[in-house]
Amino acid sequence: MIDVVLKKGKEKSLLRRHPWVYDTAIGKVAGKPLSGDAVCVRASDGAFLGYGAYCPSSALRVRIWSFNESELMDAPGFVEGRLKAAVSARADLLGRTTARRLVFGEADGLPGLIVDSYGDWLVTQFQSAGAEQRRELIAATLMELTGAKGVFDRSDAATRTREGLASRVGVLAGAEPPEKIEVVEDGVKYWVDVRHGHKTGFYVDQRESRLAAQKLAEEFRRKNGRGLRALNCFCYTGGFSLALMAGGAEQVVSVDSSGEALARAAENAELNGFDSSRMQWVEADVFAFLREQREAGELYDLVILDPPKFASSHYHVERAARAYKDINLNGMRLLAPGGHLFTFSCSGAIDVDLFQKIVAGAVFDVHREAWAIGRFGAGCDHPLLMTYPEGEYLKGLHLLMRP
């Protein structure tokens, strides 16, 4: 195995078991490893640090798969064992949902690999050179472990380009998936399009937040004798909207810039038999829509802001901060006294502290008092590896606007 030797002093993050090695930390490479090849990372004094997969075209040059010198990443059974442990850790979720994340990259010791399960079908994303080189073994093992009918690959994320990998979409193993897959989450049904939907077809990471919205709707009706009026911005295929209807919301206005996504959302509502007269689907730019609603004097009991990623890297943080401030400021202006705000960021470059400061700034500028009464994050199938804080990409706040 080829040795990758770090510059003096650059071993500190690996000693703390952070799994990334950037090109600027490398002193020399004793050979010419190919994309995805296993390498041994050593400190400048030759001390063992870890085994990882090499990517010559990426600034993130090595992703560590094992910190154990006796645990070779290409040894027979290594990948299979990691996959088995990951699948087993999510088994208890089957009591609540048929949509789960089975593998979450670095958190499961399989850097750059994403696997989601939708009923009898699996969807993969190979976001690193190391995962890509081992894709056939991974696909075959997943089929055996889960009994899935097929594995569909959605390796079309931007991270592929940074790894020097071409985009790929198609069947990886087993049969072709149907055009739409029905999943059930906390009693609510959803259609999932694994070929064309965002990410792998569905935002499985928002499960706990959707359940919180459903429970809030139930509690609001119990306390007030009526269903709440909600505005769901960046609604995509209606996840939060459906959860609110299941909880007894009186009216849900859902806004997205994609007419295609809204059509799918309406199909999801029909699948559940919800009263269409209480649901409104609006194709519009959310930033403009929020201002128009304010000018019209509209008020809501709940506003949900779940935008797409505004900052793809640290270079875009300033611009993203302005966008988050804008939607939160205008979203708060639409809340009735005692109203609730669910606000989210899925931008990894915006950390929890910065996001809270942005939202606090919006509260100050709107001249209202607000309590943060809850925090949101991805569910237990997206565990946070404590030595890899970058894994905490999704964060959210539940604010109560004081009367």
Domain CATH code at residue 23: 2.30.130.10
Question: Residue 194 falls within a domain, yes or no?
Answer: no
Q: What is the DSSP letter of 292?
A: H
In a domain, 313, yes or no: yes
Residues 264 and 367 in one domain: yes
The answer to whether residues 102 and 245 belong to one domain is no
Whether 372 and 291 map to the same domain: the answer is yes
Classify strands 26-29 and 60-66 as parallel, antiparallel or unpaired: unpaired
**CATH code assigned at 101:** 3.30.750.80
Q: Give me the domain span that covers residue 339.
A: 203-401
For residues 383 and 242, state if they share a domain.
yes
Q: Confirm if 208 and 216 have CB atoms less than 8 A apart.
A: no
Which of 18, 39, 66 marks a domain boundary? 66
Contact 3, 30 (CB under 8 A): yes
Predicted pLDDT of residue 403: 84
- What pLDDT, on a 0 to 100 scale, did the predictor assign at position 304? 98
- How is residue 371 written in tokens? 């309590």
Q: Where are the beta strands (DSSP E) in 200-351?
A: 229-233, 251-256, 279-283, 300-305, 335-345
Token duo for residue 279: 């649901």
Is residue 337 located within the same domain as residue 224?
yes
Is residue 48 located within the same domain as residue 113?
no
- 224 and 183, same structural domain? no
Residue type, 332: M
Catalytic site includes residue 346:
yes
User: pLDDT tens digits for the chain (403 residues)?
Assistant: 999 999 999 999 999 999 999 999 999 999 999 999 999 999 999 999 999 999 999 999 999 999 999 999 999 999 999 999 999 999 999 999 999 999 999 999 999 999 999 999 999 999 999 999 999 999 999 999 999 999 999 999 888 999 999 999 999 999 999 999 999 999 999 999 999 999 999 999 999 999 999 999 999 999 999 999 999 999 999 999 999 999 999 999 999 999 999 999 999 999 999 999 999 999 999 999 999 999 999 999 999 999 998 977 777 899 999 999 999 999 999 999 999 999 999 988 899 999 999 999 999 999 999 999 999 999 999 999 999 999 999 999 999 999 8
* DSSP 8-state assignment for residue 104: E
What is residue 117's predicted lDDT score, i.e. its pLDDT?
Answer: 98
The verdict on 235 and 338 lying in the same domain is yes
Residue 258's closest CA among 283, 279, 231?
283
Domain count along the chain:
3
Q: How far apart are CA 230 and CA 215, in angstroms?
A: 14
Structure token pair of residue 26: 């490398």
How confident is the model at residue 136, as a pLDDT? 97
Pairing of strands 370-377, 168-174: unpaired
Are 278 and 391 contained in the same domain?
Answer: yes
We report the CATH number of the domain holding residue 311 as 3.40.50.150
Name every residue whose Cβ is closer than 8 Å to that of residue 92 and which is 6 or more positions away in sequence: none
CA 219 to chain centre: 27
Over the stretch 143-185, which tens digit does the pLDDT of each residue have?
A: 999 999 999 999 998 889 999 999 999 999 999 999 999 999 9
- For 62-76, b where at least 16 C-beta lie within 10 A, e where not — what string? bbbbbbeeeeebbee
Rg of the chain over all Cα atoms, to the nearest angstrom: 23
| Bridge partners, residue 66, by sequence | 51
Point out the catalytic residue in the list 40, 55, 233, 346: 346
pLDDT digits (tens, 9 = 90+) for 321-342: 999 999 999 999 999 999 999 9
